[in-house]
Structure 1
Amino acid sequence: TERGASADSAGGGATGATPGAALDEALPEAARSSGAEDAATSSAESLPPSVVPPTAGEGSPGSDGRERRSVERSASLTLAARPRDVDAVSARIQDVTRRQGGFVVSSAVSSSSGGGDGTFELRIPARNLDAAMAALSRLGKVRERSQRSQDITAAVVSARSRLKDARTERQSLLRQLGEATTVTATQAVRARLRIVSEEIEQARAGVRRIGNRAAFSSVMVMLIADGSVAPPVQDDNWTPGDAAQDALRVLEVAAGVALIVLAVALPVALLAAAAAVAARWSRRRRREHALDAV
């Protein structure tokens, strides 16, 4: 009897532990998975968005180590002005471009009492791009402004290398031409020289083009009419550059006036000199006649 009670007691203990384990096993697998996913989602949402690194590139071994870089820059600007100010702002856009050493590639302006717009394509020296953008931005209400830069050092190095290789080949061909002993060899070298000379001219043009891309920046300016915009701010900042330009204009005007005075005074002076010579000759002739009469 004691052994049975002990067995029953042991069995009861075992049976008492089973419901908890059975409950754990009874939890749906999907619920546990859902809880894990919720925890992961909550953790992910609490982290700041990650910045994806750029894809690794091969680069340019011939130019990556250079300290002096060639960079092509461009910009675009959208300005809003009152309809009555469209023509004035258009003129000031062109004036700012000239003052910064640039030029207007193309422009189209239309204005009316109720609206108007304009588009300008400008080329401005890259060293003056920031100053030009600042001056242009003061001409109206800035609606949009953007700038872009592109490193073109690899292209510059490549263009110069092509020119150098072509010149080296020409030097070699000139030596071969001097050493040629047959007509056939001479003609072959001269034919190759003509081809290489054309390649040199093309390479020179390529170097100039790629250099010009870095030296000058393209700027697109859009001008739109908006009646709610305040009048443009007058640019009263007077810089040493403005002083130099004013002095140059004064010298140009003075030189023009001097040329006009010279053009008028020179014929008058020649006529006066001719008259003086004629008068002296006439007096001399009269004295001679008087002496002859005596």
Structure 2
Amino acid sequence: MIVSIFALGACGGSGGTNQSSVDSDSGSVESLADTSAGKAAAPEAADAAAPRQAVVKASIISTGSVALSAKDVGKTRTQVQQISDRYAGQVTEQETSDSDDDGPSHARMVLRIPSKSFDDAMADLEDTATLVDSTTTSTDVTTEVVDTEVRVKNARTSIERIRTLLSRAEAIGDVIAIESELARREADLNSLLAQQAALENQTSLSTITVSIDRSGPGGSSEDDPGFLAGLSAGWDALGDSARVLAVALGAVIPWTPVILLVLASLWLLSRRRRQAAGPMAGPVPATGPAEE
């Protein structure tokens, strides 16, 4: 097949018989490229197989999830941002839910941290607040990475050979066929490059999802176990009772004059009734034995 392409230029000035022979021997460009690539790529395939037998750096995709509980969600969220900055990471997603005037009640953050700092970043995040749950997942994609690299190299080599054939082709039919095959192989190469870039992104940067929920009334007992937890809970209960008492007093005080006036009126009325009933009641006759 290769001979037919070269014959295209060598026999261009010959007769119609030679041209017919060239046309009949041209065949498929894909078979031509594959045959040419197969013969010339044998040494390269052997060279490409050698690195696989050598020590290959492992390619790991690491993901983590950390669930935290904290009294101050906003403060903990800031600390998570500082940890991300410390390891040259970035926050790619962030969600915050506000419930009342006490600040945010929930926050969710997605961090992209360099893979080499994944374990250290996870440890720091777990110590940021009360740890509720922590999970990590690691996937070894070393074989996929090496295979993609080899396929990209072979695709580029094949494209260079097809371009060489295109530069030597003279017949319009051969040029069209070779250009079509070149376009197909370039599309395959672009797809491989996209896969390679995705693997590079996933292996170089780890993803950590951080979820922060505001702790309830009993949350302090988890942060400070023992006597301090009881003392803190007692102070909280005292503060709640004081607030309830203050609200009750605030509601009663405006009614105090009215209540006092009603009580004074009842007392005066009761006193007058006792005074009015006093003179009407005569002395109670003494009882004793009858005189004979």
**TM-score, with normalisation over the residues of structure 1?**
0.53
Q: CA deviation at 1:213?
A: 1.0
Counterpart selection for 2:129 from 119, 132, 140: 140
Contact 1:79 1:224 in 2 (8 A): yes
Compared with structure 1, are the counterparts of its residues 96 and 210 closer, same or farther at alpha carbon in structure 2 (3 Å cutoff)? same
Which of 160, 165, 170 does residue 176 from structure 1 map onto? 165
Contact residue 90 and residue 109 of structure 1 kept, 8 A:
no
Contact 2:80 2:125 in 1 (8 A): yes
Distance in 1 of aligned mates of 2:96 and 2:160: 54
Check the 8 A contact 2:92/2:112 in 1, yes or no.
yes
List gaps (5 residues or longer) in structure 1: 1-61, 234-294
* Aligned with 1:127 (options 109, 112, 116): 116
Name the count of aligned residue pairs.
171
Distance in structure 2 (CA, Å) of the matches to 1:183 and 1:189: 10
AA paired with 1:197? E
Q: Distance in 1 between matches of 2:141 and 2:207?
A: 15
Q: Deviations over 1:177-214 (max 9, x none)?
A: 12212111011111211222222222112111111111
Please name the residue that 1:108 is paired with. 95
Task: Describe the shift of the 1:67–1:199 C-alpha distance in structure 2 as closer, same or farther (beyond 3 A).
Answer: closer
Tell me the SS of whatever aligns to 2:58: coil
- CA 64–152 in structure 1, closer or farther in 2 if over 3 Å, else same: farther
Query: 1:197 and 1:115, CA in 2 relative to 1: closer, same or farther beyond 3 A?
Result: closer
Distance 1:185 1:86, change over 3 A: same
Query: For residues 61-72 of structure 1, what are the structure 2 equivalents within 5 Å?
Result: 66-72=55-61
Q: Corresponding residue for 1:150?
A: 139
Return closer, same or farther for 1:70/1:172 CA change in 2, 3 Å cut-off.
same
Classify 1:232/1:182 alpha carbon distance in 2 versus 1 (closer, same or farther; 3 Å): farther
Cα distance in structure 1, aligned partners of 2:76 and 2:53: 43
CA contact (8 A) 2:111 2:207 kept: yes
Q: What corresponds to 1:15 in structure 2?
A: none
The 8 Å contact of residues 106 and 121 in structure 1, kept in 2 or not, is answered as yes
- Percent identical across equivalent pairs? 24
Query: Do the aligned partners of residues 183 and 138 (structure 1) sit closer, same or farther apart at CA in structure 2, a change above 3 Å counting?
Result: same
Match of 2:78 in 1: 91
Deviations 1:44-98 (A, max 9, x none): xxxxxxxxxxxxxxxxxx969744211111111111101xx11111122122112
* SS of equivalent residue, structure 1 residue 214: helix
SS in structure 2 opposite 1:73? Answer: strand
CA distance in 2, matches of 1:193, 1:102: 41
Under a length normalisation based on structure 2, what TM-score does the superposition of the two structures give? 0.53
5+ residue gaps, structure 2, are 1-50, 225-292
Q: Does 1:195 find its partner at 2:184?
A: yes
CA distance in 2, matches of 1:196, 1:172: 11
